[in-house]
Amino acid sequence: MVAFIVTAVVGYLLGSISFSYLIAKKLMKIDIRSTGSGNAGATNTLRVLGVGPAIAVLGLDILKGIVTVWLAIWVSSDGNNLVPAVAGFAAIVGHNWPVYFNFRGGKGVATTIGVVATLLFYPALIAGIVAILSIVFTRFVSLGSLLFGLLTPVAALLLLPVYPYPTAYIWFSVLLALLSFWRHRDNLSRLLSGTESKIGARKQA
């Protein structure tokens, strides 16, 4: 129980570090949440600040998820599979609703990638390749994000005969997919209506 509490708290606090907010404040003295799409994440950073800052935000947000999960694995000496999952979930919640920034964060995609790739590497790799290809060909980042969430548990199930991942991790990836779809519900609506913004397009004020 102590491991659950400690790693969840640490994960949430790490996840609450909004690198897009901090980098935007440092470079342009703006609140990233008040411009572009209003989302504190890598895609909006790309839209507002450009490629370099966006890559930095993406990498750092992914790193949050990786570090959180590995800290939980290290703390959980009894090998409880749920401890890293709970810690990773807390990091994603922290990114989405950061305590340091009035609980207004991003959508958690990059941090989710870090968490899932650490727990379910090959399923995340397969889902990630499909997601990247979809972004390349359609230029819809939101579509790639949704595909990553949807396909990770599917790939994990298909790979079970070769890579018998813990069942808890597969159910965890289903939970993260549901969270991703809920966080992207407006994007999904715009995708269906044909009004979603493509990568590289600037959001009109």
Kindly list the averaged pLDDT for each block of 10 residues, start to end, along the chain of length 205: 89 96 94 91 92 96 97 83 94 97 94 97 97 96 96 96 94 96 95 89 47
Give me the helix-helix angle, 109-119 and 82-96, nearest 10°. Answer: 170
Task: List, as own/partner pairs, every contact residues 125-134 make where C-beta atoms lie below 8 angstroms and the sequence separation is at least 24, other chains included.
Answer: 126/151, 126/155, 126/159, 127/151, 127/152, 127/154, 127/155
Q: Which two tokens stand for residue 34?
A: 């008040």
Instruction: Please report the pLDDT score of residue 37 as a whole number.
Output: 85
138: Cα within 13 Å, side-chain hemisphere = 17
What is the C-alpha separation between 85 and 172, in angstroms, rounded? 7
Instruction: Please report the pLDDT score of residue 200 as a whole number.
Output: 65
Is there a contact between 109 and 179 (Cβ–Cβ < 8 Å)? no
Give me the helix-helix angle, 19-28 and 51-75, nearest 10°. Answer: 140
What is the C-alpha separation between 132 and 139, in angstroms, rounded? 10
Instruction: Please report the pLDDT score of residue 204 as a whole number.
Output: 43
What pTM was estimated for this model as a whole? 0.92
| Nearest Cα to Cα of residue 119 among 96, 147, 152 | 152
Tokens 């994603």 sit on residue:
92
Instruction: Please report the pLDDT score of residue 205 as a whole number.
Output: 37
